[in-house]
């Protein structure tokens, strides 16, 4: 934090050296770095993330108020990405070599190539502004977070990249599964095409997708930093960016620790779910 240019108390107007020194002493920023570090760690272990240097509010309170908004956005994005991505991947694999397959893979290529801030701006322009001008109705709100019509565009912008990754992986996994012997056996038994695909193929092809859910959660959480600023959503990502701009040390560190802990927990949950879905996976040291 101390290597960042500027300081929390410098703004448009210059702060007298005496006042700045008093502020540094008040918040303990004039102490040696090891002293600051161990003092902060001790406070964190007691649930105290400090007080914001900008608005003087407890950092824990800021996180508690803003994170539910980011979580709502992230959950919606993950639902969009997972459902649409899986369906597109299945359709592309089943209709391999057709226009559906080509179109799906082209859409996936766009998804992994176009950044969320560009997609968000395009959605605001075409589905927000232009659609409103054409219909006279505000079908999709382009700013804020509240009514149902304000949540679709940011969630879709955040989900699009993850949706593309899921669809590509699901297509590859489905193609591999469809060539397995047990699928050929199911066909020989006279099972219907739909039963073979949804009961046998999809259930096994989805396992590789589960393994990337942890990184996808991380991608969605970090993506909220950009999307929340574009759509003016009062979530933790928007607050984090503002704190970086204002050198609000305590809020930056507190938010970073919270996000890091949350991602570790999310990856742990994904590993547990993967083990439950695939009984062949056993913990290290567990007997067969």
Please give the pLDDT value at position 245: 86
Expressed as residue numbers, the domain containing 250 is: 65-277
* Contact present, 150 and 138 (Cβ < 8 Å): no
**Looking at the domain assignment, is residue 247 inside a domain?**
yes
**Looking at the domain assignment, is residue 283 inside a domain?**
no
**Looking at the domain assignment, is residue 160 inside a domain?**
yes
Name the nearest CA neighbour of 259 among 282, 209, 225, 288: 225
* Contact present, 216 and 15 (Cβ < 8 Å): no
* Contact present, 160 and 111 (Cβ < 8 Å): yes
Query: Which pairs count as long-range contacts for 60-65, CB under 8 Å and 24+ apart, including other chains?
Result: 60/254, 62/239, 62/251, 63/236, 63/254, 63/255, 63/258
Q: Give the integer Cα–Cα distance in Å for 21 and 31.
A: 12
Please give the pLDDT value at position 288: 46
Please give the pLDDT value at position 103: 93
**Looking at the domain assignment, is residue 237 inside a domain?**
yes
Backbone angles phi, psi at 60, to 5 degrees: -60, -35
pLDDT surpassing 90 at residue 276:
no
* Contact present, 116 and 161 (Cβ < 8 Å): yes
- Per DSSP, the chain holds a count of helices (H) and strands (E) of 14, 0
**Looking at the domain assignment, is residue 56 inside a domain?**
no
pLDDT (tens digit, 9 = 90+) per residue, 183-230? Answer: 889 888 888 888 899 888 998 899 888 888 888 888 888 888 999 999
Paired tokens of 211: 């393994």
Query: Which residue would you say has higher pLDDT here, 46 or 285?
Result: 46
Q: How many domains does the chain have?
A: 1
**Looking at the domain assignment, is residue 35 inside a domain?**
no
**Looking at the domain assignment, is residue 116 inside a domain?**
yes
pLDDT (tens digit, 9 = 90+) per residue, 98-139? Answer: 999 999 999 999 998 999 999 999 999 999 889 989 988 889
Q: Give the integer Cα–Cα distance in Å for 263 and 224.
A: 14
Q: CA–CA distance from 251 to each of 38, 44, 54, 58, 142 (Å)?
A: 17, 12, 9, 9, 28
Paired tokens of 36: 């600051």
pLDDT surpassing 80 at residue 4:
no
pLDDT (tens digit, 9 = 90+) per residue, 36-71? Answer: 889 988 988 888 898 998 888 999 999 999 999 999
């Amino acid at each position: 934090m101390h290597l960042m240019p500027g300081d929390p108390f410098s703004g448009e107007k210059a702060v007298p050296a005496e006042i700045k020194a008093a502020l540094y002493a008040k918040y303990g920023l004039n102490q040696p770095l090891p002293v600051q570090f161990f003092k902060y760690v001790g406070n964190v272990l007691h649930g105290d993330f400090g007080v914001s240097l900008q608005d003087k509010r407890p950092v824990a309170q800021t996180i508690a108020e803003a994170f539910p908004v980011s979580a709502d956005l992230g959950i919606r994005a993950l639902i969009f990405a997972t459902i649409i991505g899986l369906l597109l991947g299945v359709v592309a694999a089943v209709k391999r070599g057709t226009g559906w397959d080509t179109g799906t893979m082209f859409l996936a290529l766009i998804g992994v190539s176009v950044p969320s801030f560009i997609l968000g701006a395009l959605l605001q322009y075409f589905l927000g502004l232009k659609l409103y001008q054409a219909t006279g109705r505000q079908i999709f709100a382009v700013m804020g977070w509240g009514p149902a019509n304000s949540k679709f565009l940011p969630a879709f912008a955040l989900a699009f990249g993850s949706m593309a990754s899921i669809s590509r992986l699901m297509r590859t996994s489905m193609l591999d599964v469809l060539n397995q012997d047990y699928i050929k056996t199911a066909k020989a038994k006279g099972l219907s095409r739909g039963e073979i695909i949804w009961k046998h193929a999809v259930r096994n092809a989805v396992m590789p997708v589960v393994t990337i859910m942890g990184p996808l959660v991380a991608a969605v959480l970090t993506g909220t930093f950009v999307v929340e600023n574009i759509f003016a959503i009062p979530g933790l990502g928007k607050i984090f960016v503002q704190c970086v701009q204002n050198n609000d040390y305590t809020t930056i560190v507190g938010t970073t620790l919270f996000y890091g802990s949350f991602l570790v927990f999310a990856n742990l949950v994904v590993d547990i779910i993967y083990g439950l879905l695939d009984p062949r996976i056993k913990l290290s040291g567990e007997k067969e």
